[in-house]
Amino acid sequence: MIVLGIETSCDETAVSICRDGEILSNVVGSQLIHTQFGGVVPEVASREHERLLNILTIEAIEKTKIKINEIEGIAVTNGPGLAGALLTGVSFAKGLALGLGIKIVSINHLEAHMIANLLDSRDICFPFLCLLVSGGHTQLWLIKKLEDYQLLGETRDDAAGEAFDKGARILGLNYPGGPEIEKCAKNGNYNKIKFPRAFIKSNEIEFSFSGIKTSLLYYMDSFEQSKDCSLNDVAASYQKAIIDCLVAKMKLAVNLTGVDTISIAGGVAKNKLLRSSIDKKLKGSKIIFPELEYCTDNAAMISYLGEKKFKIGKSSNFDFSINPNFNIIIN
């Protein structure tokens, strides 16, 4: 089956084509315009999606050997995300599906991130644990099978990715904050500053990153760079504190559930320290790391999951709506 996927939940405009589980094309248009604002501007994101969608759809099709009338279904993200951005993608997808006379299926962005682990690891066996960590979410899920998920725990306040973005702004670094902090931390000493690690000794699977962000803000109020403590040291210490919390709760989830196949998903999953720390702290587990291109927002995960849903008889009526706060996806 040939499925075209569309992703416009935030500031990445993406289109992909999947055929029988194989990704034939995966085109992403990053909206670099937001860098000048230090974060995503929703109205600007919507306009950029509108400008890019048709261009990227044509490009995605041209990268394959298929013709547009060979597409059998369209999968599109309908939440969670920015309302205007989602509406732009959903409206485009509905119009294209109606014009081609083919079926459509709405996709939960979070579910797609978790199932994206199957793109590179087809031999992965259910059940498995997934740490979903991005700018908007920090959650630990037990993936029992397709469409059967159990939320084990999540953040009480800020997401880890948000802590990176806000932390980068406090440090005077550019947006997006995660890669900038990682780059700055490369030559730093992560043991230089003891930032708080919320709930790290608790036997509950829960996270909190508002405290560490506030701690960084107060620290930088009196910070003066010197040979004893550099900005690199601050970035490294801050990054290490966030990663320690994530890895500790993943280890706890393995112990509590007895499931020893683990994966990560979302933009923060690209972080090298997170990957190396999981490798080090969870040596006895089977660890699945998605390819870097499937960590950040992309349409490959949308087309891939869409095809799986079509094949089990799932599709959507054309009157489905967007769901910006589409958060819990328990069957």
Q: What is the DSSP string of 171-219?
A: HTPPSSHHHHHHHHHTTS-TTSS----TTTT-SS--B--HHHHHHHHHH
Q: What percent of the chain lies above the pLDDT cut of 70? A: 95
- The CA distance from 239 to 164, in Å, is 8
Higher pLDDT, 53 or 65: 53
Per residue in 193-230, pLDDT (tens digit) is: 999 999 999 999 999 999 999 999 999 999 988 888 99
Question: Which of 206, 149, 185 has its CA nearest to residue 274?
Answer: 185
| Residue 161: both structure tokens together | 């990715």
The domains located in the chain, with CATH, are 2-114+298-311 (3.30.420.40), 125-293 (3.30.420.40)
What is the chain's alpha carbon radius of gyration, rounded to the nearest angstrom? 20
Q: At what angle do helices 231-257 and 177-185 cross, to 10 degrees?
A: 110
325 burial (CB, 10 Å; 0-12 / 13-18 / 19+) is exposed
Residue 243 half-sphere exposure toward CB, CA atoms < 13 A: 25
Kindly report, residue by residue over 288-303, the tens digit of the pLDDT: 999 999 999 999 999 9
The H or E element containing residue 28 is strand 22-30
Which pLDDT score, from 0 to 100, does residue 259 have? 96
Q: Give dist(CA 214, CA 204) in Å, integer.
A: 23
* pLDDT tens per residue across span 217-275: 999 999 988 888 999 999 999 999 999 999 999 999 999 999 999 999 999 999 999 99
* pLDDT for the residue numbered 36: 65
Peptide bond before residue 290 is cis, with ω within 30 degrees of 0? no
CA distances from 72 to 19, 22, 101, 311 (A): 10, 15, 9, 11
pLDDT of residue 34: 57
Structure tokens at 234: 């601050």
pLDDT tens figures, 101-156: 999 999 999 999 999 889 877 678 899 999 999 988 999 999 999 999 999 999 99
